[in-house]
Amino acid sequence: MREEITWKPLKAGGLMDKIGPVMSARDEEGGFVYALETTAEHSNALGLVHGGVITSLLDQAIALVAWNAADRAPCVTVQLDTRFVSAAKPGARLDARATVRETSGSMMFLDAEVLDGARVIALATAVMKISRKVA
């Protein structure tokens, strides 16, 4: 029997608070999943969820996973490549997950996806820079 995910509001600040609220939860594997309940305010001129909203959700999920993997050191996006696979309609809850593929020195490489239920909406790869304090 599958356990129900417990969602908590994420205090991301800035743009994500204007888009969101973004919710976070632990998934079945012990990682994190981030969700956004979309509305008509998230739509583009075609009546679909705007690609900028989807990309912002991807970037937020990637940044948080990188931050946790870097022992909570600040991480900034160096590159984010997004591929839109399908469209989402306002009213959909979009779930974003990210995983670290590799870390090399101060660079981290991640993969991510946004889903509407089981349907893939977007895929992404990212390069993040870990900013460590120098003593």
Q: What is the dihedral of CA 28, 34, 40, 44, to 10 degrees?
A: -120
At 118 the pLDDT is 95
Which pLDDT band, with edges at 50, 70 and 90, does 1 fall under? Answer: very low
pLDDT average, residue stretch 91-95: 97
Asked if residue 116 has pLDDT above 50, the reply is: yes
All domains of the chain, ordered by start, with CATH?
A: 8-130 (3.10.129.10)
Which pLDDT belongs to residue 2?
45
The tokens of 50 are what? 């705007």
Helix, strand, coil shares, percent, the chain, to 5: 20, 45, 35
Average pLDDT rounded to a whole number, residues 110-118: 97
99 DSSP assignment: E
Mean pLDDT (the chain) is: 91
**pTM of structure:** 0.90
